[in-house]
Amino acid sequence: MKIITTVSLAVMTIAAAAFFFFTPANASTEHLEKHKQPFSEAVFRQAQADNQLVLIDVYATWCPTCKRQHRVLNDYFAKYPDSDILVLEVDFDEQKDWVTYFKAPRQSTLALYRGEEQLWFSVAQTRERTIFAELQKHDSAAE
């Protein structure tokens, strides 16, 4: 049993490394860039007060799962350029108080809010179909 566990761990490690090293560093996120900004409490609180749809993206620059999520989000905003979703990026390494505030167990956590209400919470989700479906439920541009 210990050998199988060790082999499984080795295979998962190699797969993650391959994904990280063979994913283009310059993969375009131009559509996402138009909808995102670094997290600040002031911007978040104002968006809540305005009842704006806000996607909290807890990310790390070194995280391959986060990069995959960003490509999926970029594809979403390419499909729905008029989306009113504001993406606020919480830096997992630098904004630990906010990581805790949003109860993010790790980087690659996504949380969708409208006002004070959390509408969706996900950890390490990279399936386009799932992410699109959750965003589309609440995004008036996707109707």
pLDDT digit string, tens, across residues 41-77: 999 999 999 999 999 999 999 999 999 999 999 999 9
The pLDDT assigned to 30 comes to 79
Mean pLDDT of all residues in 77-105? 96
Q: Per the confidence metrics, is the pTM higher than 0.95? A: no
Checking if the pLDDT of 25 tops 90, the result is no
Per the domain annotation, does 11 fall within a domain?
Answer: no
**Amino acid, res. 123:** V
How many domains does the chain divide into? 1
> Rounded mean pLDDT of the chain?
86
Q: H helices within 23-113, ranges in order?
A: 30-33, 41-49, 64-79, 96-101
Per the domain annotation, does 83 fall within a domain?
Answer: yes
Per the domain annotation, does 4 fall within a domain?
Answer: no
Per the domain annotation, does 102 fall within a domain?
Answer: yes
Place of tokens 């797969």: 15
C-alpha distances out from residue 126 to 9, 41, 46, 120, 121, Å: 20, 26, 29, 14, 13
Per the domain annotation, does 5 fall within a domain?
Answer: no
Residue 69 domain boundaries = 25-142
Domain CATH number, residue 97: 3.40.30.10
Per the domain annotation, does 12 fall within a domain?
Answer: no
